[in-house]
Amino acid sequence: MKDSNSIKIFSPATVANVACGFDILGFALDNPGDEIQVSIKDSPGISVLNQTKDTVFPADVNKNTAVVSLQAYLSHLGSDQGFEITFTKKIKPGSGIGSSSASAAASVFAANELLGNPISKENLVQFAMQGEKAACGVAHADNVAPALLGGFVLVRSYDPLDIISIPYPEELYCTIIHPQIEVKTEDARKILRQGISLKDAVKQWGNVGGLIAGLMKGDYALIGRSLEDAIIEPIRSILIPGYDAVKEAALEAGALGCCISGSGPSMFALSRSAEEANQIAAAMKKAFTHYEIDNIDYVSKVNNQGPKVI
Ligand SMILES: Nc1ncnc2c1ncn2[C@@H]1O[C@H](COP(=O)(O)OP(=O)(O)OP(=O)(O)O)[C@@H](O)[C@H]1O
Ligand SMILES: N[C@@H](CCO)C(=O)O
């Protein structure tokens, strides 16, 4: 729904890191996603309405990722246009599937549409990153870039920002299992080691290259071999009860690979068909039953569009 004063959009969930690409790789999902309505106000300032009962936002609206990114965008334009943002959150904060970034990407995309698209989608990424900085202290782009551009995205460089869309096979499906515990990205970053060994680095950059080559060639076996993480997974997986067993169940059920989605607690697995992705979801859920943690699953094709007007 769009008129000259108001727009309602779907903003996709995203999987950051994609196993080997900490802070530099991410992809978008068709399901789930947030709904957000952005309307032009007569007076300056950004106001927020939350229509999601069980989602609590920061009390200070200036810490809401949608508001922070929109303020960065308006300040770049030198505009004091006022907006009202109405949220219907479908992605739980602290899920690992880009809840904070779906809002950050959505508000700048929507406002840009209402103002006649003065800025390209690629260049909106820098403003959405400011929302991520407010959420976790670091302006990482591996959720907001795919949320805005769709598909698989590589952040080749942060300074200067260089965002590359990576071609990928048409038939690529993702299974997400979201155990109902909250892991804040800010906390999940604090436990990481600041240094890595040369041996681990060699393994990791081999996998990053392999994953990108596999996606571009449509080589599923290469994609699967490259979905490994020598650096982050050994540390963060400790925060997810049953992680090893659930991952093993996904691989046994035919997943190309399985790892932590973003900073967790969600886990993702890639596969070649919707049927396989559903079988993998069932196997992962079954493995989780031993750990008595409620969980929600999503099966989705990789999203190729980013935000869309609904
Ligand atoms: N509009 C928003 N939507 C979601 N979370 C928000 C929003 N604005 C601020 N936040 C804050 O951001 C934090 C959640 O972001 P966080 O990065 O920890 O989780 P996530 O986005 O689900 O995970 P990930 O980045 O690993 O995919 C919470 O502290 C939440 O209060
Ligand atoms: N790259 C970020 C993604 C957070 O979703 C991290 O792993 O901390």
Supply the CATH number for residue 253's domain.
3.30.70.890
Query: Ligand 1 atom closest to Cα of 89?
Result: 3
132 catalytic per annotation: yes
Residue with tokens 């969930």: 13
Tell me if the bond preceding 118 is cis, omega within 30° of 0.
Answer: no
State which of 182, 233, 263, 266 you would mutate to test the pocket of ligand 2, scoring each by most atoms of that ligand within 8 A of its C-beta. Answer: 263
Domain encompassing residue 47: 6-166+305-309
pLDDT higher than 80, residue 20: yes
Residue with tokens 């991520």: 132
Ligand 1 in contact with 71 (CB < 6 A)?
no
Q: What is the tens place of the pLDDT at every residue in 7-16?
A: 999 999 999 9
How far apart are alpha carbons 257 and 233 in whole angstroms? Answer: 13
Query: Ligand 1 atom closest to Cα of 16?
Result: 27
Residues 142 and 270 in one domain: no
Residues 16 and 158 in one domain: yes
Residue with tokens 């290259």: 209
Which residue, judged by its Cα, is nearest atom 3 of ligand 2? 262
pLDDT of residue 55: 75
Q: What is the tens place of the pLDDT at every residue in 86-107?
A: 999 999 999 999 999 999 999 9
How far apart are alpha carbons 304 and 310 in whole angstroms? Answer: 16
**Structural element, H or E, at residue 206:** helix 198-217
**Widest CA span of the chain, in angstroms?**
58
Q: What is the tens place of the pLDDT at every residue in 166-182?
A: 999 999 999 999 999 99
pLDDT of residue 299: 98
Supply the CATH number for residue 58's domain.
3.30.230.10
pLDDT higher than 90, residue 155: yes
Q: What is the pTM of this model?
A: 0.97
Instruction: Report the domain count for the chain.
Output: 2
Ligand 1 in contact with 64 (CB < 6 A)?
yes
- In a domain? residue 96: yes
Ligand 1 in contact with 185 (CB < 6 A)?
yes
Q: What is the tens place of the pLDDT at every residue in 242-293?
A: 999 999 999 999 999 999 999 999 999 999 999 999 999 999 999 999 888 8
pLDDT higher than 90, residue 309: yes
